[in-house]
Amino acid sequence: MSNTLTATTLAARPVFEGKLLIDGLWLEAADGNKLERKSPAHDQLVAVYAQAGVADAERAIAAARRAFDQGAWPRMRGADRARVLRKAADLILERKHAIAEMETLESGKPLAQALAEIEGSADLWQYAATLARNLHGDSYNTLGENTLGVVLRDPIGVVSVITPWNFPFLIVSQKLPFALAAGCTAVVKPSEFTSGTTVMLGQILIDAGVPAGAVNILVGLGNVVGDVMVSHPDVDMISFTGSTAVGKAAVAKSAATLKKVSMELGGKNPQIVFADCDWDAAVDAAVYGIYFNAGQCCNSGSRILVQESIAERFAAAVVERSRHVRVGDPLVAGMQVGAITTEKQFRTILNHIDAARAAGATVALGGSQIAGTGMYIEPTVVTGVKPDMAIAREEVFGPVLAMLTFKDMDEAVALANGTLYGLSAAVWSQDFTTCLTAARRIRAGTIWVNTFLEGHAELPFGGYRESGIGRELGRFATEDYTETKTLQMHLGARTDWYVPR
């Protein structure tokens, strides 16, 4: 692995400078603090940001509150909001190469993958634009000749949008355009590790015609800015993606003001491989499912549950194919896996591997840091995993595959449901009855059948149990950002209740 090309490129590249977007203006932090970000792949400075504090967060929330209570955005026709969202999608595509490069530099993911993510995000903005025109309530004219009932969907108000570092542009695009389509205003806090693309999105939204204050962007720390965003009384809803532990803390802090919450949290997602699977497709999906985005994906296929009769041969095939996964400089064409995004996560992954060894599992491939500049970990396959081992139950969030075996359908489903999570799963069999039976019994929000990690804007996304609360995407996505209001109207004379003596 060589970083020569990238070192030269980065040396000539200006450091990105980002400010806070508050009430339509790009501002420095009130206390003048700055935050620096180095590339995890190259260990070079790539960005410097104004670092928001409590005063900045309060100012941004106040701006969003005014924009909702007094501004034009919630009162626009759906068609007009849709026009702005479509313009934003067009501008995202126009600037996709610059956005993708920023994402690669801050996250460490391969450039081709980042570019595909930006293009997919633009599609989400386009889809949200269609929902802006189709959001509607209901009416009831069957309540008697003197009564007409109308059900309205009002935008819920100010939304705090908090996003993680693994898919910074995609995840904000799973939230923000749908909140805007409903007529909400927002305060957005990206991860402090990958803020650049969200800051770039802020300028896109200004250029697309989003009014001042309707979207505010804060770069800062979760325990400072995030705490204000989840507890402030002027915030009506929280839309959060991140770890289950942090999500629980956010819900607890929001409880004092009973905010609505949408939580997309962790996963320990199984791929169940039956003996009659499409062999090549299942092997490829097992490898792709764990190494995509270096395994830093809530939907990562981090558990393979394989039927005993093919387990040894399947594990050998996965190990062999994993040997050929290309890991290295994310700016070099052809790389499939880049760097681990944060130093904390890098150490966490290595600790999980060590713990699996200590518990008696076998590290059949990889398991170590790749020497050189940047935070890279070898593609890792762990076999001999038992259901009670931590590697089988806890989210590793890295390029580490745990392989378990099962005898029959009942055991496979029990293993699939045997964690606290329930985000996604896959079933591999050429018998459709097997696939459908397993899919209906697995407690998870998305079940892929003979495929893995595909997504469409039209299909809802979210999890059971500790994988989250609520759903994103799909035709009802904008409804999550609304309150339901009933108008019960009486026609004609009304009989008095009071009867005089």
> Which pLDDT belongs to residue 358?
97
Tell which of 250, 265, 280 closes a domain.
265
How does DSSP classify residue 292? Answer: G
| Residue 496: per-residue pLDDT | 80
- pLDDT(37) > 50: yes
The answer to whether 135 and 261 have CB atoms below 8 angstroms apart is no
For residues 69 and 190, what is the distance between their CA atoms, to the nearest angstrom? 25
Whether 137 and 258 map to the same domain: the answer is: yes
Query: Is 371 in the same domain as 245?
Result: no
pLDDT value for 5: 40
- Residue 474 included in any domain: no
Work out the pLDDT band at 365, boundaries 50, 70, 90: very high
pLDDT digits (tens, 9 = 90+) for 177-223: 999 999 999 999 999 999 999 999 999 999 999 999 999 999 999 99
Query: Partners of 489 in the beta sheet?
Result: 148
Q: Which of 430, 449, 468 is the last residue of a domain?
A: 449
User: Which value, in Å, is the radius of gyration of the alpha carbons in the chain?
Assistant: 24
User: Is the pLDDT at 7 greater than 90, yes or no?
Assistant: no
pLDDT at 4: 38
Does residue 386 sit within a domain? Answer: yes
Both 308 and 420 in a single domain? yes
Whether residue 238 sits in one domain with residue 365: no
The residue-averaged pLDDT of 321-329 equals: 97
438 shares a domain with 314: yes
Percent pLDDT > 90 in the chain is 95
- How many other β-carbons are positioned within 10 Å of the β-carbon of residue 407? 10
Contact assessment for residue 196 and residue 102, using Cβ atoms and an 8 Å cutoff: yes
The reply to whether 293 falls in a domain is yes
List the beta bridge partners of residue 448: 426
Q: What is the pLDDT of residues 249-258, one digit of tens each?
A: 999 999 999 9
Q: How many Å from the N-terminal Cα to the C-terminal Cα in the chain?
A: 96
Q: What is the reported pLDDT for 423?
A: 97
Whole-angstrom Cα distance, residue 404 to residue 311?
8
Same domain, 275 and 226: no
Residue 415 lies in a domain: yes
The overall average pLDDT reported for the chain is 96
pLDDT computed for residue 9 by the predictor: 63
Q: Which of 265, 287, 302 is the last residue of a domain?
A: 265
Instruction: Name the residues annotated as catalytic.
Output: 264, 298
Mean pLDDT within 422-444: 98
- Give the pTM: 0.95
| Mean pLDDT on 261-268 | 97
Tens digit of each residue's pLDDT (9 = 90 or more) over 151-175:
999 999 999 999 999 999 999 999 9
| Domain span holding position 260 | 9-265
- pLDDT of the residue at 11: 67
Instruction: Mark whether 98 and 208 lie in a shared domain.
Output: yes
- Same domain? For 260 and 381 the reply is no
Q: What are the tokens at 129?
A: 């634009």
Together in a domain, 181 and 325 = no
Residues 189 and 299 in one domain: no
260 lies in the same domain as 285:
no
Element (H, E) at 204: helix 196-208
Specify the CATH number for the domain of residue 351.
3.40.309.10
Whether 261 and 400 share a structural domain: no
How many domains does the structure of the chain reveal? Answer: 2
pLDDT at 294: 97
pLDDT in tens, 345-362: 999 999 999 999 999 999
- The predicted pLDDT at position 174 comes to 98
Domain assignment present for residue 464? The answer is no
Residue 10 has pLDDT above 90, yes or no: no
pLDDT at 79: 98
CATH number at residue 215: 3.40.605.10
Summarize pLDDT for 40-97 with one digit per residue, the tens.
999 999 999 999 999 999 999 999 999 999 999 999 999 999 999 999 999 999 999 9
Encode pLDDT of 485-496 as tens digits: 999 999 988 888
Per-residue pLDDT averaged across 387-415, rounded? 97
pLDDT at 3 over 70: no
What's the pLDDT score for residue 2? 38
